[in-house]
Chains A and B, each alone.
Chain A
Amino acid sequence: MADRSPFDQLHARATAAWDALQSSDKTVITVNVHGGSLPVGAEDIYKNLVFLTETRQIPAIVRQTGSLGFEFAETIVQVKRPNEPTIVYGHIGEDEVIELIERAVEGDGVWAEKALGWLEPQGLVVEPPLTLEQSADAAGLEDYKGIPPLKRHPYLRRQTRWLSRRWGRIDPESIEEYIAEGGYQGFVKALTEMTPDQVIEEVKKTNIRGRGGAGFQMGIKWESGRKSRNNQKYVICNGHEGEPNVFKDRRTFESDPHVVLEGIMIGCVAISATVGYAFIGGEFPLGIKRFKQAVKAAERAGLLGKNILGTGIDLEVRVRIGGGAYISGEGSALIYSVQGDRPQPRTKPPRSVEYGLWGKPTVVNNVETLANAPDIVMRGGEWFHAIGPDHSTGTKLVTIAGPVEYTGVSEIVMDMSIHDLIYEVHGGMRRGSEFKGFQTGGVSGGCLPADQLHFKVDFEDMNGVGGMLGSAGFIVLDHHTTAVEWARYLMKFNADESCGKCTPCRLGCPAMTEILDRVRFGTGHESDLDLINYTGKQIIEISLCGLGQAAPAPILSLVQNYRDDFLSYIRDKRNPATGQALEGAADLVVLTRGTHRVIDDPYRIGREAQRAPQILPGREIGSEETNRKGDIGDADPRRAAQPQDDALLRRP
C-alpha cells in the first residue's frame, strides 16, 4: 500500500529547519565552495571564517553551498544578518577574511566595494520565460543601503534562473535543505500518484531534447525504454563531461546533486528499471563526493532501497567513475566503460535502449536532461513546452570560456541570439581583446565569425552555417589566437582522444594534425588547404562514431571562414596575430607523432612533413641556424637524414 506519510513528515521537519535558518537571530555566512572556487582558496576562507567567528565569539552560522554561476567573481561569500537581506560579496581573497568579518558581519554590515548585490529570501528564482530583470521590475526591487539587487547585476539581467535556482543557496550536502526547497516531490508524485505511462506522456509533451550533444528527444528515448521487454533495465546518467570547455554538469553535481539523483530515480520509475547508474568523470572529486553523499542520504531517508514508501518498488543507484578518456562520454562507450571494458564505441543499431548495459535495455541521458525531470513531473509537460521555441523547449545551462568579461555558468531561455549571449549576458570582450570567432558545440561544431552572431542559441538555428549547440559549451576567440593555432589545438585534442578503434579516425586525425603543424611552422603549401578539406571529408564520412564524424568539422569551417589566416602562414610565413616571422619547423618531429602510413596521398604527404626538420642538405638536426633560417619548404625530401631517435617516432 503506497504511503507517502514518511516522506511528508520528513518534508515538514526539513521545512521547519529551513525556516528557522532563514529567520535565525544569528548571522548566516555562506561560502560558495565548488570546483571553480577551490583553486582560488574557498576552502581556506571557509575554515578561516569558522575559526574567526568562534574565537571572536561572533554569533554566526558558517555554512557551505555550491556555485551561483559567478565563476568570474570567486570566491563568493554571502552574508545574511538577522532581519536583513542577504548581501552577496565577490572577489574575496584568502587574506581578506578578517576584513570581511569586520566590515560585512560586524559594524554597519555593508562592504560596498565588494558587494555584487543583495538577494531576496527566495533567492535567484524566476518563473521562465521571464528574465531576472523582468522579475526584479515586477517586484519593484530597490537598492538596499546603496547596494543594487543582485537580479539587476549585468551578468544576471538577461538570464533565467530555474534549473539552477537552488545553486548557491542550499547546502548540497544536506538532503533536508533540498527537500525543504521542493525536492523529491516529483519522485514521490511519480511513484505514488502516476503510472509510468503517464510520466512518459508528460515527458513526451515537453518536446525536451537531450542536453548531452546529440539533441535526441528524451520522451521518445524513454518510451522505447519502456516498451522494450526485459526483466532487467537500466538508466545511466552521463555525467562524464570530458570536453575541454564545459563545466555545467560538474557544477550541477557540485551545487545540486539531489536533483540529478531525483531525475535518475524518476527515469527508473518511468521505464521500470530497478538500478540506475551515475557515471561521473574522475576529474571532479568534489562532485563525486557530494553525489555519493546524496545517494547515501536518500537511502537513509527511505527514498532508495527496497519497497520504497510501501509501493513495492525497489530502486538502487550506483556511482561509477570515469578514468579521464573523453570518448567514454559517447553513449555506447559509456556503457562499455561501466561494464569494465575499454570504452570503445560500437556501430549502431542496435541502440542502447534495445541492447545496452549487460545486453539489457538502457536509457542513457545527460545530467542536465535528467535534472529537468522533477519539474516536468511536478508541473506537467505543457508548462515546460511553453518555454522557448517549439524545437528547443526549456531553459539551457550555458558555459562560455575565453576572454569574456563574465565567465561562468549561465542559464537562458533558448531564444537568445549569440550576440546577446556574449555581450549582454557574459559582458562582452575583456579589455584589450577583439572578438574574432565563436566556437560552437565544444570541439565538434563550426567556428562562426562576427557576421554570423545573429543566429540563435538553440538546437536548430545555427545548423545551417555549420554551428551546433552540442552541450552548450562555447568558446570565444580573440585576435590573439590565429585560426591555424586554434584548428591545430582542436585537431590535436581529437587525435589524442581518438579511441583507435576505426582507421579513418585513428590515422586521419593525427594526419590532419601534422598538416596543420606543417602550416603552423611555415612549411605548408597552398595545396594543403585542399588536402585538409579532402582528408577531413573522408574522416567525417567513414568514421564509426561521433568523435571522428565531428572532429574535422571545426577545421573545415575555420579554413572556410578564416582563409586569410591560413594564407598568411603559408604565403607570407608570418603569424598574422603577432606579425612575427615563423621560426621554422625545428620542433615538428617532436610535436607530431609519427605513424607508419604509406597508402594514400594525404598520408604520404604527412610522412614528408614528419621528416621536414631533417631534410636540410648538409646541416645537422637542431643546429641553431637550421631552425631559424632554413628554407625548409623547398628542400628535397629524398635527401632526408634518418631520424636519430627512433623512439620519438613511435606512438606514445
Chain B
Amino acid sequence: MSQSTEAQRVAPAPPPQPAQPIDLGWVQHLMDEEFNARDWREANELALLALMEIQEHWGYCSEDAAAVVADHLGIELQRVYALLTFYGDLRTTPRADNVYIACDGAACNVLGSGQLVERLFDRLGIIRKGQTSPDGKVTMEIFSGCMGACQIGPMATVNGKAYGNLTPEKVDQIVNELLK
C-alpha cells in the first residue's frame, strides 16, 4: 500500500457535488396523482412508498422533497425524516454518475467478495459504503443482501450492468475504466 493511497483514505471524502436538485413541482404532482390517502392510517403507510418512488426517479430523496411528502399526506415532518434516516436504501444526497454496487451477500462473500470490496475501497479512496470517490466520479455501494445471481458470484453491477465471476484483475479493469 503506497503512501499516497493511504493519505487519500484518511482524508475525509469531499461533499458530493451539487447535482440536479429535485423538482418539487414534480414531487407535488406525483403526490397528487398517486398518493391520496383515504384516512390518516393510510397516510402514514404511504409515506415510505412515496419516498421510495421519489428516489426511484431522482436517484435520491432530499429533505425538501420529504417536506412536500409530509405536507401532502398531512403527517408530521419528523416522522418522514425518521424514515429517511433509518432505511439503508434511502439517500439524502445524490450519487455520482457512475454507481458501482458490489454484492456482498453470503454467497459472494464466500467466493471472495470481501477482498474485492477492500481493494475497491483502496482504489477509490473511500472508507465506507455509500461514499463517492474524492474526484466525484464513482459512488460505491455494498449490497449485503443477495443480488440474485449467486451462480456468477462474486458479482457486482456497474451502472446497472452485471459483472460476474470477478477477480481482482477484473475489478481493476472496471475501476480504471470508470476513473478514466
Contact = CB atoms under 8 A, between A and B. Distances in A.
B126 to A, nearest CB: 10
B157 A39 contact: yes
Q: Which of A247, A408, A439, A496 has the most CB of B within 10 A?
A: A247
B151 A36 contact: yes
B170 interface: no
Interface in A238-281: 242-247, 250, 281
B48 to A, nearest CB: 6
B112 interface: yes
Nearest to A358: B41
A108 interface: no
A1 to B, nearest CB: 30
A338 B105 contact: no
Interface of A: 35-36, 38-40, 71-72, 74, 242-247, 250, 281-284, 318, 320-326, 337-343, 358, 401-403, 407-408, 439, 442-443, 473, 475-478, 480-481, 485-486, 489, 493, 496-497, 586-587, 590, 621-624, 627, 644-645, 647-648, 652
A407 B145 CA distance: 16
A40 B127 contact: no
Given A323-B90, A407-B151, A489-B109, 19 more contacts: A39-B148, A39-B149, A39-B157, A244-B109, A282-B52, A323-B48, A323-B52, A325-B89, A326-B145, A337-B48, A401-B106, A401-B150, A403-B111, A442-B106, A480-B112, A493-B144, A624-B1, A624-B2, A645-B10
Nearest to B126: A590
Contacts of B90: 323-324
A478 B79 CA distance: 45
12 contacts: A36-B149, A36-B150, A40-B164, A71-B151, A72-B151, A247-B146, A321-B48, A324-B88, A341-B82, A343-B86, A402-B106, A476-B110
Contacts of B47: 340
A645 B12 contact: yes
Contacts of A622: 3, 6-7, 9-10
B46 interface: yes
A439 B105 CA distance: 14
B136 interface: no
Q: Which range holds the interface residue count of chain B?
A: 35 or more
Interface string B53-80: 0000000000000000000000100010
A250 B105 CA distance: 15
Given A39-B164, A40-B164, A443-B106, A244 B144 contact: yes
A124 to B, nearest CB: 19
Contact of B155 (A39, A358, A485): A39
A478 B110 CA distance: 8
A489 B114 contact: yes
B12 A340 contact: no
A622 B127 CA distance: 14
Nearest to B41: A358
A321 B49 contact: yes
Interface in B25-58: 41, 43-49, 51-52
Contacts of B157: 39
Q: Which of A282, A486, A497 has the most CB of B within 10 A?
A: A282
Interface string B80-100: 001100111110000000000
Contacts of B104: 244
Contacts of B107: 245, 401-402, 407, 475
B148 A648 contact: no
B45 A245 contact: no
Interface in B126-145: 127-128, 143-145
